[in-house]
Structure 1
């Protein structure tokens, strides 16, 4: 028996297909045969984990789903016709993260439609924006989501696994989906140079083994939950000249994005120089006051970066094309201050 969500998605797909069928009939009648000639450089074929996407001409109307993907077109000077509303780190509640708002103000033009994804992809809202392409290189789309979206427009999915796309691959795949692969390559190079310049000011960061704890439950410190090297937060440490602790690397061998170790086995993290987590000074005091967790060198030495929970700074620790520049200097300075406390 199919689930209610499955039936709802199927109904939405049928409705979307009907709308698209009517518009296709109209556009076909108005299009001369000469216009079917393939534009220079097209078709473009993009292989990804959810299928193969083919673009026959450069998209003009770009829509994005899930929370990061709008940053690539914006960084390349294109305002999406629609994008997902932010539901984490949105300090003023307008559905737009501050670095995205700054770019939208800079570019001007018509404001994007904000898709409410609280309960999943809003397929009808996406279809209403009449996109030529839908970007989702960093996302958690299911195959069913992808198939339904593909009824609306060509969709660029993630290259390997859900929520695992690096900021470089996010730019690479989404820029290809816009017919702007070369511009995407230049954007990657520009960000890499910016990161390199910022990190160069803090030589004490070089090689420091750094670990990212997940959200800490102050009522239960019996387990240590952390992000592995497959999570984008942990992977970004290497861009900043930091190192992945061997203990975390060992925990990453099964390709999972997070791991858990009993507090009684916390000595496995004796190789951690710096610890990053979500929280504040109270979180740091809580960790240092725990008889087991305080044995971790980073905690014992106070080499901790506590990022305000659900804040723009905390959100930006997960590197994205626009957030990196927005948070870089502050984040690197916080890490350097922690590195000064590491032995």
Structure 2
């Protein structure tokens, strides 16, 4: 079951309208949403102060542009996506849809294949850089901070939930009420989608990476990974082994040898990136093939490098775009658990 391990790891490789101008540049300036500035936002590298409603917002790393766009803010620059870009325009389809809805042209696109391109970011002259969902290094943070205030991730690198990303972005943009509304709407959509699929109730799931070219080990995403927590949002519990092994880890991905594959027997459903051929190869393996979910085929497979495979790293825009298809895929896998 071939999982593109770097849907998460590759996220590291990962000017048009403004956020809204303010006629009052004083400390009491108000954003269009009514929030007062300055605001202070705490994150892994300290505290960032946003002194006034930002007018030129840039985003770096994975999906932060989605959150800004969901709040009606078109970045002056954002990453060019390379994973799940089905038409090679550098945009995920849900981002293109939102830009069209807002009547906006495509912003400047940063090439992040070799890391954050600070020079490209600087060319867009931002007054705020959003990266709450990221794995910025301290060096990258300090470099970007010389360009504009930076909102980095709040705790663990690549461990920012979609809710946290929306909340932090809403605060930075002076749109806290709008952020709350977006979160509430997404939760309503998820509840409705899951209600149509009772097969999910009471099931456990793990987000895993099994490489069909190397069946000596099994990889899985930790309990803090955003894809894993999104499975919780959709009603799945986390297997005890994953919960326990994640407690003392600051990583989003761990591996165990195939000899210990039975540690993951508590997962009713395996979710991963791959196809039926990869699944059959895993099922034929004398060790991995004995994992109950693998043996019975209660697996939700996402075709590698497709928009859906990218969308399950959840964001304010990718969730509604993929929700029905993803929940149906998960429910079909859960229905195989007897």
Structure 1 residue 36, shift from structure 2 partner: 4.1
- Of residues 200, 208, 211, the one that matches 1:213 is 208
**Structure 2 residue 81 is the aligned partner of structure 1 residue 86:** yes
With normalisation by structure 2, the TM-score equals 0.88
Specify the SS of the correspondent of 2:64: coil
Specify the SS of the correspondent of 1:199: helix
1:52-92 deviation per Cα after TM superposition (whole angstroms, max 9, x unaligned): 11112111111111121001111111111110110211111
Q: Is the 8 A contact 2:158 2:252 kept in 1?
A: no
Task: Tell me the equivalent position of 2:326.
Answer: 331
Task: Tell me the equivalent position of 1:278.
Answer: 273
CA distance in structure 2 between the aligned counterparts of 1:96 and 1:224, rounded to whole angstroms: 32
Q: Is the 8 A contact 1:175 1:181 kept in 2?
A: yes
Task: Tell me the equivalent position of 2:47.
Answer: 52
**Structure 2 residue 183 is the aligned partner of structure 1 residue 188:** yes
Specify the SS of the correspondent of 1:230: coil
Task: Tell me the equivalent position of 1:318.
Answer: 313
Structure 1 residue 147, shift from structure 2 partner: 1.3
Task: Tell me the equivalent position of 2:61.
Answer: 66
- Of residues 160, 164, 167, the one that matches 1:169 is 164
Q: Is the 8 A contact 2:58 2:75 kept in 1?
A: yes
- Of residues 285, 291, 302, the one that matches 1:296 is 291
CA distance in structure 2 between the aligned counterparts of 1:200 and 1:148, rounded to whole angstroms: 46
Q: Could you say if the C-alpha distance between residues 291 and 37 of structure 1 is closer, same or farther in structure 2, counting changes exceeding 3 Å? A: closer
Specify the SS of the correspondent of 1:282: helix
1:88-111 deviation per Cα after TM superposition (whole angstroms, max 9, x unaligned): 111111111111111111111342
CA distance in structure 2 between the aligned counterparts of 1:60 and 1:190, rounded to whole angstroms: 26
Specify the SS of the correspondent of 1:138: coil
CA distance in structure 1 between the aligned counterparts of 2:27 and 2:115, rounded to whole angstroms: 37
Q: Is the 8 A contact 1:38 1:56 kept in 2?
A: no
- Of residues 253, 258, 283, the one that matches 1:258 is 253
Describe how 1:104-183 pairs up with structure 2 within 5 A.
104-183=99-178
- Of residues 38, 46, 51, the one that matches 2:28 is 38
CA distance in structure 2 between the aligned counterparts of 1:305 and 1:180, rounded to whole angstroms: 36
Task: Tell me the equivalent position of 1:243.
Answer: 237
CA distance in structure 1 between the aligned counterparts of 2:45 and 2:241, rounded to whole angstroms: 32
CA distance in structure 1 between the aligned counterparts of 2:208 and 2:91, rounded to whole angstroms: 26
What are the ranges of 5 or more consecutive residues in structure 2 without an aligned counterpart? 1-22, 31-35
- Of residues 213, 217, 220, the one that matches 1:223 is 217
What are the ranges of 5 or more consecutive residues in structure 1 without an aligned counterpart? 1-31
Q: Is the 8 A contact 1:283 1:306 kept in 2?
A: no
Q: Is the 8 A contact 1:135 1:155 kept in 2?
A: yes
CA distance in structure 1 between the aligned counterparts of 2:202 and 2:107, rounded to whole angstroms: 42
With normalisation by structure 1, the TM-score equals 0.87
Greater RCO, 1 or 2 (C-alpha within 8 Å, sep 6+): 2
Structure 1 residue 37, shift from structure 2 partner: 5.3
Specify the SS of the correspondent of 2:335: helix
Structure 1 residue 207, shift from structure 2 partner: 2.0
1:188-207 deviation per Cα after TM superposition (whole angstroms, max 9, x unaligned): 11111110110010111012
Structure 1 residue 39, shift from structure 2 partner: 1.3
Q: Is the 8 A contact 2:222 2:228 kept in 1?
A: yes
Structure 1 residue 184, shift from structure 2 partner: 0.8
Aligned residues: 310
Task: Tell me the equivalent position of 1:7.
Answer: none
Task: Tell me the equivalent position of 1:6.
Answer: none
CA distance in structure 2 between the aligned counterparts of 1:163 and 1:50, rounded to whole angstroms: 14
